[in-house]
Amino acid sequence: MKILIVEDEPELKDTVQKFLESEHFIVEHAENYRSGLEKIISYDYDCILLDIMLPDGSGIDLLKEIKRLHKKDPVIILSAKDSVDDKVSGLEIGADDYLAKPFHLAELMARIKSVIRRNHQDGENIIQYKNISIDPENRKVMVGNEELILNRKEYDLLYYFIIHPEKTLQKTTLAEAIWGDYIDQADSLDFIYSQIKNLRKKLKSQHAEADFQAVYGIGYKFV
């Protein structure tokens, strides 16, 4: 899952980024309003951590842009301001949660998991598709009653397909979601085929009731 941190305090950004990466998230960063808006327009995120006070604008204004663009990315506001007005304003505009600085990393993680669960998992702890179930909290996959052992990228790829069942996903969308925006520097997206081939083999070996379908010239869908 991919997180965007819009934060201009280097020390806080580094602390949060290292923590989230240790929890297997892909983390990207924007240090101001302009770069934050560019990333939000260009990519989708599982959660955006948004500071209110930015050097070239307001996080509240950036939140308004997110809603104007009809982006569905969940937003948690992070701010040293703990006033009721800021909190109410952010939530009324459409933020999913609000966390005042300073905060404990464990609480931040709980908030992130909560908004992701509401937005991607219909509030459920376990995601089920056919005879495949995923426990995102423990990064555990079951096919029927047997655990399916996957490496990190295989798990991330399967999770992304299962929260978008039977939808055609472009190769570029998959690459950005699983490998981050640096994927723009890749010469080709052929590695996605290899990852799906390996994942398909593992699913088939445990008699999964779903498989990947190639959509010529576009990408894949999970059916």
What domains are defined for the chain? 2-120 (3.40.50.2300), 127-222 (1.10.10.10)
Which of 72, 6, 2, 70 is CA-nearest to residue 37?
A: 6
| Range name among 29-38, 40-49, 132-141, 182-191 with the lowest pLDDT average | 182-191
With a CB cutoff of 8 Å and minimum separation 6, the contacts of 169 are: 160, 161, 219, 220, 221
Region 167-175: mean pLDDT is 90
Long-range own/partner contacts, residues 98-101 (CB < 8 A, 24 or more apart): 101/12
Task: Look at residue 211 and tell me whether its pLDDT is greater than 80.
Answer: yes
The whole-model pTM stands at 0.79
Overall average pLDDT of the 174-185 stretch = 76
Question: What's the mean per-residue pLDDT of the chain?
Answer: 91
pLDDT per residue as tens digits for the range 47-106 = 999 999 899 999 999 999 999 999 989 999 998 766 677 788 889 999 999 999 999 999
Q: Which of 66-70, 84-88, 124-128, 129-133 has the lowest mean pLDDT?
A: 84-88
Q: What is the DSSP string of the chain?
A: -EEEEE---HHHHHHHHHHHHHTT-EEEEE-SHHHHHHHHHH---SEEEEESEETTEEHHHHHHHHHHTT----EEEEES---HHHHHHHHHHT-SEEEESS--HHHHHHHHHHHHHHHHSTT-SSEEETTEEEETTTTEEEETTEEEP--HHHHHHHHHHHTSTT--EEHHHHHHHHH-GGGGG-S-SHHHHHHHHHHHHHHHHTT-S--EEEETTTEEEE-
